[in-house]
Every structure is written in structure tokens, then in C-alpha cells.
Amino acid sequence: MTAVDSTASKSTGVAPITVPPFAVISGAQVRRTLHGSEKRITELVETTYRVHGAGDSVNPPSYFLRFPDRPCSRIIALPASIGGDTRVDGLKWISSFPKNVTAGIPRASAVLILNDHDTGYPFACLESSIISATRTAASAASAADWLSRGRSRPTRVGFFGVGLIARYIHTFLVGTGWSFDEIGVHDLSADSAAGFRCYLEQSGTSSRITVHDSAEQLIRNSDLVVFATVAGQPHVSDLSWFAHNPLVLHVSLRDLAPEILLASTNIVDDVEHCLKADTSPHLAEQLTGNRDFMHGTLDDVMAGRVTVPTDRPVVFSPFGLGVLDLAVGKYVYTEVARRGELHVIDNFFHELSRYG
Ligand SMILES: NC(=O)c1ccc[n+]([C@@H]2O[C@H](COP(=O)([O-])OP(=O)(O)OC[C@H]3O[C@@H](n4cnc5c(N)ncnc54)[C@H](O)[C@@H]3O)[C@@H](O)[C@H]2O)c1
């Protein structure tokens, strides 16, 4: 990449510190880069969990910007820094406006800024709703794999809430080698359920598809349950629905009553992050006054530090870490640059000479 020499560095005789060019990467470019790369991205997400677990990252709490006049909506800032081979800093800035869906446009929209490790300069702005959905789905696929290793591999998956995230998770499960005899679908919106069914049929699945009007029937008929609703507080509280000890990917974080978690094995992506923002694990901590119900992280499971019992449900609650967005975003940036397709904004940073 072409870089701009700073005047100051020219006089020092040491390796010049340069300002990297600033590029904008569109959603179309992101999608083209990530499409069909489910295995590679899932491996990248697992590597990033390991780097984060080893402490080679900075991932402060997400900041939730909320609005008194639009209580359902929010914009979240996820600043982060990741080491390892990725070595980049940055920020995801992601909006959730659930009413968008009734207007036929996606709930979430996002950008990701990548900052240069050495100078701090932002060097890329990427469309990031696809990156965010991709890293979320890759994390879910990884959890499905690792958390089912000690038990019989699920053959009946149930999707509880079927918007964009559910679609990406299905794509990632299939793309990382899963096949199912049965796919269950449940959504409060008949249109969403019909749209997801249509997507499944177009994907060429040979699975039997059942749309369940009843949440109970979906859960009882699934040994892998994926929650991807937009529920703000728990709406599933009957422990008997989980008597068959399913593996639950609790991606939307606030669906399950704390009592369900207290009777389950709980695995998260990061303990401190998950015990915030009124997630179900946070409610369980408030209810019990301790964290004894928390068994560990996915990194703990991958490293063999935690084993997952088969005689109770296992619930994976991923808060969603900014380091994952950085890792996937940097991968996209590198691939787009390698293809020579970066759209660089000339002279984006203009005041580069300290005294003019
Ligand atoms: N943990 C993470 O890392 C992470 C990352 C990205 C998104 N998410 C979460 O995933 C969820 C889904 O995102 P999306 O973009 O697919 O949203 P979306 O709005 O496209 O779809 C959500 C669907 O859930 C349905 N729904 C809402 N409440 C329901 C309920 N109580 N029972 C059944 N169905 C219900 C809606 O009708 C809708 O079809 C959101 O909560 C989002 O915050 C989590």
C-alpha cells in the first residue's frame, strides 16, 4: 500500500513513520470476500478466541447509546485491539433499530474502523453488518462443534427467531459440515417464518422443515436450539422443555429465564462481558449473588480446561466481542488489498505536516 511520509520522520534517519492511505470497503466487496469462506472464517474466529483467552487483546466493555425518545433502538460502540497475527486496533459502531424490519430494511447497520497499530491512523472503513453477522455465525458454528463433541451430534436444529442472524448461522453450520434431518422454525412473525422457510428451500436443503407455532414444540423437538430473537427480557422459563438436554446457542442473550441457566452448563465467550447489560447470565448472577453457574469460556473448552457434561442442557451465550470484528475486518481488508481492489480516498488526511 502507498503511504504518506511525515515530514518529521524524514529528518530522523530512522525508518520513516508513515500515514497509511485510507480506504473504504463496501458491503458488496465484504460479501464477495467472505462468501463461501465459512470454514476459514470459523478457524479465524477460533484463533481469535485463543489470542483473546491468552490475554493478547484489549476488549473494554461495549458502550450502549440509548435514546429516551426511541427506547427500542440503540447504537453500540465496540472498541478493541487484537494482537497475534492480526495486530490491529479499531471500533465497530453498530445500530439496532428493530422497527426497520417493518419497513422491509434490516434491523442492524454498522461500520468498522481499522486503526494502524503503529501510528493509530484509521486506514479503513468497512461496511460491517455483514462482518458482524459473519463473525457471530462463525462463533455459533464453532460453539456447536466444540460443545457437541462429548455428546451425540445433533440432527434436529431449531431456529427460535429467524432474521438475518439465523440465516447466517444456518449458512455457517452447513458450511462447516453440519447436516440435519429436521429443521424447526419458530418466530412471532409469520412473515419472518415464511421468509426463512423460503430461504431454506432455496438453499437446497434436504432437511425436513417444520414451522412451529409453539415455542415449546420447537424446543422439545430440537437437540440444537438457536435463539436469534430481539427479545429484551426472558420469555422462555419452563425448564421441562429442556428435559432432553439440548445444546442451546443463546445468541440473542436475553431469551432464557435465569432458572434455565441455573440448571444448565453455561459457556460464554468472555465472562466479564456476558455478565452485563441485563443478559440472561447477568440476571442469573443477580438472582444468585454469585457466578457459580458460569462454567467457562469457549476458549476454555477448546483448550480442554473445561469439559461439558451431557446430563444437562448446555447453553452458549456469546456477548459478541469487538476483537472478532477486527479479525474478520482485517481479513477482508487484506484480501481486498491483495486483489488490488481497495478504494483509497486520496488526501483523506490532509494536515500531515506539523507546522504546515
Ligand atoms: N451475541 C452476538 O454476538 C450477537 C451478534 C449479532 C446479533 N445478535 C443478536 O441476534 C439477534 C437477532 O438479530 P437479527 O439481525 O437476526 O434480528 P432480526 O430483527 O432480523 O430478526 C429477529 C427475529 O426475531 C423474531 N422475534 C422477536 N422476538 C421474538 C420472540 N419472543 N419469539 C420468537 N421470535 C421473536 C422477530 O420477529 C424477527 O423475525 C438480535 O437480538 C441481535 O442483538 C447477537
Distance CA 138, CA 166 (A): 12
In this prediction, residue 12 carries a pLDDT of: 56
C-alpha angle 141-268-224 in degrees, rounded to nearest 5: 40
Collapsed DSSP state (helix, strand, coil) of residue 11: coil
Q: How far is CA 41 from the centre of its chain?
A: 12
Indicate whether residue 231 lines ligand 1 (CB < 6 A): yes
Which is it for strands 57-58 and 156-160: parallel, antiparallel or unpaired?
Answer: unpaired
| CA-proximal residue: ligand 1, atom 8 (nearest) | 252
Grid cell locating 14: 530512522
Mean pLDDT of all residues in 112-137: 97
| Amino acid, single-letter form, for residue 5 | D
In this prediction, residue 2 carries a pLDDT of: 44
**What number does the ligand 1 atom closest to the CA of 196 have?**
39
How confident is residue 57, by pLDDT bands cut at 50, 70 and 90? very high
Q: How many CA atoms lie within 13 A of 91 on its CB side?
A: 11
The Å distance, Cα 249 to ligand 1 centre, comes to 12
Neighbour tally for 307: CB within 10 Å: 13
Indicate whether residue 281 lines ligand 1 (CB < 6 A): no
Residue 200 phi, psi (nearest 5):
-60, -45
In this prediction, residue 8 carries a pLDDT of: 45
Asked whether residue 122 carries a pLDDT value surpassing 80, the answer given is yes
Which is it for strands 18-19 and 4-5: parallel, antiparallel or unpaired?
Answer: antiparallel
Average pLDDT, the chain: 95
Query: How many angstroms separate the Cα of 116 from the Cα of each of 56, 78, 108?
Result: 17, 17, 26
The Å distance, Cα 11 to ligand 1 centre, comes to 55
The Å distance, Cα 197 to ligand 1 centre, comes to 16
How confident is residue 281, by pLDDT bands cut at 50, 70 and 90? very high
How confident is residue 354, by pLDDT bands cut at 50, 70 and 90? confident
In this prediction, residue 15 carries a pLDDT of: 73
Mean pLDDT of all residues in 326-348: 97
Q: Are 322 and 80 in contact (CB under 8 A)?
A: yes
| Amino acid, single-letter form, for residue 290 | N
Distance CA 165, CA 180 (A): 18
How confident is residue 16, by pLDDT bands cut at 50, 70 and 90? confident
Mean pLDDT of all residues in 185-193: 96
State the Cα torsion 42-43-44-47 to the nearest 10°. 130
| Backbone φ/ψ region at 209: left (φ over 0), alpha (ψ -120 to 50), beta | beta
Distance CA 138, CA 133 (A): 9
C-alpha angle 132-280-309 in degrees, rounded to nearest 5: 95
Asked whether residue 11 carries a pLDDT value surpassing 60, the answer given is no
**What number does the ligand 1 atom closest to the CA of 165 have?**
16
Q: Are 268 and 297 in contact (CB under 8 A)?
A: yes
